[in-house]
Every structure is written in structure tokens, then in C-alpha cells.
A and B are shown apart, each in its own frame.
Chain A
Amino acid sequence: MTKPIGVAAKTRQIVKKHGGGKSAMIAVLQDIQETFNYLPKEALKAAARAMNVPMSRVYEAATFYTAFSLKPRGKHVVKICKGTACHVRGAAILQDRFETTLGIKPGGTTKDGKFSLETVNCVGACALGPVVVINADYHGQVTISKVDKIIKKINEEGAKS
């Protein structure tokens, strides 16, 4: 039986994979987030120590990029594009729909840990606007009824597994 590996140990593996230097800090943070779904405090501290970078520098980077989250996020991270193109095509209405259906505001996570809501500024697919990105899937020309379908589908998948 393999022992479950701790947050700090896993983080040290990630740092090592990237060569151990501080020049790979962003890549390390991305990997940590990929692994734990957010940036746990313990991981940031372990990463700082392993890269020999002050914790204050690591925390600066972690709080600067909106792509990083310091709070645990839901299994499905819904990112509503609020860039200019998506905005004029009704992103606000979609946001409203997600907010009322899921009962959370951007930055929040549903109690069951299933959904997190975030807004982003242009994901580079303006022609498909309004765009909603869920985990790694891009949904284009999203309408209110599409929002309802997307949520329903995810909920049904969850019920099966």
C-alpha cells in the first residue's frame, strides 16, 4: 500500500521537477494549483523553502495573478468572460443566471464544493462570445438556456459517479 504523500512533500517534488530554481516559480505555482486545485498555504511555504525564495516573493506572485486561487475551489470552475466583446454580447446576463442558479457570487464556491464562479477578462475567443470556460472546456455563444443545460449536465454527471 502506498502512503498518501503530504502537501509539502508533493510540493517539493514539483519544485524539483522544474529544476529547483526560482526562475520557474510561476510554473511551480501552476503545477501546485493543478495538483491541489488551489494554492494551499502549506504548499506555498514548502515551495518557498525548496526554491530558496522568500515567502513574501512567492505570496506576491500568488496574489498577483488572478489565475491563482488561495482558496479551495469547486470541482467545476466556471469562468465567465467579461472582456469587452463578451460584455457587449451579454456576459452580465449570463453571470446573473449563474449567480442565481448556483447561489454564489464570483470568487465563491457552492457549499457542496461542486461549483466555483469566477469572472475573467477576455480568454481570446471573442468571435465565440459570450464565452464561458468550465474547467478546460470552452463554451461559445452561450445563452441563458445553455447555462441551464450546462449546469444540469454537470449535476447529472455528478449524480451518476
Chain B
Amino acid sequence: MVNMMIDGKKVSAPKGAMLLESIRGAGISVPTLCAHEAISRSGACRLCVVEIRKGNRTRIVTSCLYGVEEGLIVDTKSERVLNVRRLVMELLLSRCPESDVLQKMARDMGVEPQPRYAADQDKGKCILCRSCVRVCEEVVGVSAIGLFSRGSCKEVGTPYNEKSEVCIGCGACAYVCPTGHIEMTSTGDKRRIWGRSFKMQACSKCGKFFAPVDQLKFISKKTGASMEELSVCTECR
């Protein structure tokens, strides 16, 4: 266990934990977009910044990626922290002006769109956090999507923007995306995602369409479970 001071409170945390968890464990809220329990951390959104003090030196760090340390003094709401966080928010907002998630976060933080940052019109709601790419690679294991090109042209998608041969239509990317950029629509026995249409499996008991056939085939191949077993939805199992 290591002992720290967070916003004047004594907090102890297990070695190896990240600051973000200790801060939240102490009942203090920190805004985040890209930290998600299902995937590895990337430190992409920069919203979770806090100020740390060691001896008489202070630093701004991303709390989701900074490991706890004995004797650390953490300030989550200093003027410096709030300034950095507001700047990050202003930039995110000018990239994705249409994102309702960002709009709400900005409102809560008292951040307004800044005329000095021209608002992008072509980026959708994507903040390029790579969460979707990570979940597809780390959890699902198919790596159907990626972040392509670089700089201001960088965008999320499938290679060549083509229908992916490896995508199983599971929707994990849409689920994990913090801003709702990824469009997935399910109507009846069809699901559409990444420009491809997937046939949905009806539950053999209740008849509800509950998962893409391709996803069940993938699970069957991985776990050895038969398609009959997998054709029952989680509620009827």
C-alpha cells in the first residue's frame, strides 16, 4: 500500500494502481473519455489531467496513466489543472462540435466554443482515442478497424473503407466509443455497421434477434461450443 494526499484527503492505494482509480475511490470526480475498463489505457483524450507534487516540484499528469506513489500530493482542481482541462475541452469541442457528449461535458465545465479554433465539419464525433480499435484487437480479437492516415486527415475506419472480411458485427466498438461516433443500426434480422450488413440470429427459444450469425460462428470456432447451444439468447439460457 502507498499513502498519498488527494485534495487534502489521506488516501491509500495498492501498489501498481493508477491515480485515476484512487481519486475516484476517494469520492472525487474526474472527467474522462478514453479510460475504459475493458481496454488498455492510451492517455488519448487528456481530460483526466491532475497536478501532482513531489517535494517542491509540481507537474501536470494524466491520472489514468500515472501510477500511484508513496507521499504523492495530488490536486485535482487547482487553477492550473482547470486551465489545462478547459483548453483540452475547447480543442475537443472544436474538432467535434456536433457531439452531444462533448457538448454536455463542456457545459458542465463552463467551456464555450472558442472562435479562435475553427470548428471542424468533417470529423463527425470521433476524437481519435483509439478505444474502438483497441477493443476490436484486445477483446474481440479480429482487428477489423484502425486509425488511418495521419495528422489532420487521420480517421477511423476499415482498410480502404471497404466492407471488412474479418468484422463479426459484434458492435463492441460502438459500445466502447465515448462519443457515439460509430453508427450501428439494428432492424429486425439485420444489423448494419461499418458499411456492412449482418444477418441476425433469432433465439431458438424466445425468437428475439439477439446477435449476428457471424459473431456466433466466431465464438463457436473459438470456444468449441456448438451453434445450437449458442443460438439461445442470454435471457433464455
Contact = CB atoms under 8 A, between A and B. Distances in A.
B144 to A, nearest CB: 6
Interface residues of B, number: 15
A107 to B, nearest CB: 12
Main secondary structure of the interface of A (DSSP, over half): helix
Contact of B150 (A41, A55, A56, A64): A64
B150 A63 contact: yes
Interface string A43-63: 010000000001111111001
Contact of B147 (A41, A44, A60, A66): A60
A54 B150 contact: no
A56 B160 contact: no
A55 B167 CA distance: 12
B150 to A, nearest CB: 5
A52 to B, nearest CB: 11
Interface range, A side: 10 to 19
Contacts, number: 34
B59 to A, nearest CB: 30
A56 B149 contact: no
A57 B146 contact: yes
A68 to B, nearest CB: 11
B7 to A, nearest CB: 40
Contacts of A63: 148-150
Nearest to B165: A55
Given A64-B149, A64-B150, A57 B160 contact: no
A54 B137 contact: yes
Contact of A60 (B144, B146, B160, B166): B146
Interface of B: 133, 137, 142-150, 158-160, 166
The 3 closest A-B pairs by CB, nearest first: A54-B143, A56-B146, A59-B159
Interface of A: 41, 44, 54-60, 63-64, 66
